[in-house]
Amino acid sequence: METPAPTPIIAPKTVNGIVIKQAVIAAFVTIVLAGMNVYTERARQHDVREAKLAIAVVADKTEDVQATLEEVTVATDDKLEVIHKLVNSSMGEQKRVKAAALRMLALNTGLPEDQKAANDAEREYLDHQAKQADADADAGTKTPQ
């Protein structure tokens, strides 16, 4: 015996040449796609809101970092200026002491090489002081003596 063909759940009937089964499926697919579209749009809008919030947080943190960086830069520049002045002052003092010691040695020995060393040391000291005076004038400051 032959098995009978299965009976369709929705029997195809035509109304004005359109198959009702196909129309029902098309309507169902349209409704599902419309629902998915609404869901997708809501999710996109949610993601956009979250992205805008994240951007705002990052912008605030960037401003904080920039402000902190500016404060640290100013403080560092001030400290470096003080350190530079102290180093230059110490260097000038070293050159002065060296020149004085070599001059005393030259006066005691009377040797020409000691005289030359004393003259060279005094010239180094005076050159350093002149360069420092120019640098201080450019910076509008005066190095401690």
Rounded (10°) CA dihedral 112, 116, 122, 126: 140
Reading the chain (145 residues) residue by residue, the pLDDT tens digits are: 577 666 555 555 555 555 677 777 888 899 999 989 999 999 999 999 999 999 999 998 999 999 999 999 988 988 888 888 888 888 999 999 999 999 999 999 999 999 999 999 999 999 999 988 888 777 665 555 4
Q: What is the pTM of this model?
A: 0.47
Task: Identify whether the C-beta of residue 104 lies closer than 8 Å to the C-beta of residue 117.
Answer: no
CA angle 116, 119, 121 (to 5 degrees): 110
CA atoms of 145 and 129, how far apart (whole Å): 10
